[in-house]
Amino acid sequence: MAQGAPSPRQILKTTPLFAALDEAELASLADRCGIHSYSAGEVLFSEGERCKGLYIVVSGRVRIFKTSLNGREQVLALEGPGASVAELPVFDGGDYPASGAAVEKTEALFVSRADLRAICLEKPEVALKMLQVVGARLRRLVGIIEELSFTTVRHRLISWLIREGKAKGQKSDRGIVISLDASHQELAAQIGTVRELVSRNLARLQAQGFLEVNGREITILDSDGLEADLSSMV
Amino acid sequence: MAQGAPSPRQILKTTPLFAALDEAELASLADRCGIHSYSAGEVLFSEGERCKGLYIVVSGRVRIFKTSLNGREQVLALEGPGASVAELPVFDGGDYPASGAAVEKTEALFVSRADLRAICLEKPEVALKMLQVVGARLRRLVGIIEELSFTTVRHRLISWLIREGKAKGQKSDRGIVISLDASHQELAAQIGTVRELVSRNLARLQAQGFLEVNGREITILDSDGLEADLSSMV
DNA sequence: ATCGCGGAGTGACCAAAGTCACTGCGATGC
DNA sequence: GCATCGCAGTGACTTTGGTCACTCCGCGAT
């Protein structure tokens, strides 16, 4: 663990999932769960593997994704510090339905299936919290299905840009500036398409005057226009 | 309720979700949950509506689906007797992410949010069971995403036929006979496309000798060929 | 400096998905 | 019997998605 990094105990204390536990319980859980460090790209668990337990992201980011036979990837979720990952196979004992890998240098706590079950049985509030977390995940998956089933790549790209703009865009006099920290490849995996289409659609949006693309810096010039485009696409 | 139909009490007793409750608890729950009857096509709850509680299908079938602006539908799940529907917004208090409607004449029990929370807190086993149910649902959604993101309509149609054949196909000397109880429209909504493509792809599969289509009766002549087709489609 | 490499841009192409408009069929109701 | 209606099939077409094969650029290592 890095110098000055929080102890497992401190992390558990601030994890929403375990908010209901008291000091003693937290301490006992902290003793039983291991902390692991992953380098960028390293796999935490693979699709189809038997599920062993749940991870809690301490630092860094974890990418949950599916891989197709021909190598394409579809990202299902990106989780940062405090979030739990792979909660669900814990309770139905099956295999992981997708893979999880560290996007950047990442630390994560691992809580075993057995420990979790014990906690849920003893502190039902934890189980309820868990249901809430899983519920949120379900919502996001339904959203992905909706986008994949009903919309075009262009639409998904615009949605992504707007979301990203709201989340970490910098306001400037010309518009909202987004600095891409992901490659087009990665962006494509997130919106469910291939690199080339991301490139082409960005170019097209620029030609239409909605954006200005400068390497990995995208400036949204006309965000109202983009939003309008979304709803007009019937 | 129809003559001879089971009482709420009896239904709850056989619902896996509540297997952990004892007689007294079942009785008290039965008192508090209402049974409703829905005619074919009737809506149980609509997307975006504030969530009120959970439904347990007693008889009939319920279809969970999303609707797009231009009227297309994407089916997320079909649930029959014993299954619960709309479990998840119960625990995060949000809106229903999709709509639910009766496919055919359907009876369902309704359990309120508050009652459920109380039960989960008192009987943690119920919460665990619930997590298991939600987990299974999550798995299915991931499967839908995988199919939508990676495969073609043809592929999805073949998968559907194979699934359906295994689930309710009749063996005959010529192959496996499936009698469609859904329209092409409905089938299209289940595999995420439009009516015309279902029609065309069925015709194409027939022309290739994999199937024989006779109105609403489809005979799978070469199921090995179909399976092979699936994996060859890279 | 230059070699190699990964990311990005693009033209040419092809296949799949979706739209529109129409026909035909078979139930159901009057 | 005939009109109506919903479902199914299909031809013609457009748009979108995806593939392939390159080129170009910037950067870090040698």
Per-residue pLDDT reduced to its tens digit, B116-131: 999 999 999 999 999 9
Amino acid at B67: T
Q: What DSSP letter does each residue of B140-171 carry, written as one string?
A: HHHHHHHHHHH--HHHHHHHHHHHHHHHHPEE
**Which pLDDT belongs to residue B154?**
97
Tell me which residues have their CB below 7 A from strand D: A 70, 72, 152-154, 192-194, 196-197; B 180, 183-185, 195-196, 199-200, 202-203, 213, 216
**Which pLDDT belongs to residue B193?**
98
Q: Torsion angle, CA of A146/A148/A154/A158, rounded to 10 degrees?
A: 50
- In angstroms, the CA A49 to CA A226 distance is 41
Q: Which positions in chain B touch A141 (Cβ < 8 Å)?
A: 138, 141-142, 145
Protein footprint on strand C: which nucleotides are under 7 Å from a CB?
Answer: 6-12, 16-21
**Secondary structure class of A57 (helix, strand, coil):** strand
pLDDT tens, per residue, chain A with 234 residues: 444 556 778 888 888 888 888 888 888 888 888 899 999 999 999 999 998 899 999 999 999 999 999 999 999 999 999 999 998 878 888 899 999 999 999 999 999 999 999 999 989 999 999 999 999 999 999 999 999 999 999 999 999 999 999 999 889 888 999 999 999 999 999 999 999 999 999 999 999 999 999 989 999 999 999 999 888 765
B102: left (phi over 0), alpha (psi -120 to 50) or beta: beta
Nearest protein residue by Cα to C1' of nucleotide C26 = B215
Q: Which positions in chain A touch B145 (Cβ < 8 Å)?
A: 66, 74, 76, 141, 144-145, 148
Task: Give the residue carrying structure tokens 């359990």.
Answer: B111
Which tokens sit at A113? 């299936």
How many residues are listed for chain A in this entry?
Answer: 234
Contact assessment for residue B126 and residue B56, using Cβ atoms and an 8 Å cutoff = no
What is the greatest pairwise CA distance in chain A?
Answer: 61
Mutate to test the interface with A, among B51, B117, B128 (most CBs of A within 10 A): B128
Task: Give the residue carrying structure tokens 């029990």.
Answer: B109
Task: Give the phi and the psi of residue B62 in degrees, each rounded to 5.
Answer: -120, 140
- In angstroms, the CA B18 to CA B80 distance is 17
pLDDT tens, per residue, chain B with 234 residues: 444 556 778 888 888 888 888 888 888 888 888 899 999 999 999 999 998 899 999 999 999 999 999 999 999 999 999 999 998 877 888 899 999 999 999 999 999 999 999 999 999 999 999 999 999 999 999 999 999 999 999 999 999 999 999 999 999 988 999 999 999 999 999 999 999 999 999 999 999 999 999 989 999 999 999 999 998 766
Q: Is the pTM of this model over 0.85?
A: yes
**Secondary structure class of B8 (helix, strand, coil):** helix
**Which pLDDT belongs to residue A219?**
95
3-state secondary structure B36-53: EEECCCCEEECCCCECCE
- How many Å lie between the alpha carbon of A16 and the closest alpha carbon of chain B? 13
Contact assessment for residue A79 and residue A57, using Cβ atoms and an 8 Å cutoff = yes
**Secondary structure class of A61 (helix, strand, coil):** coil
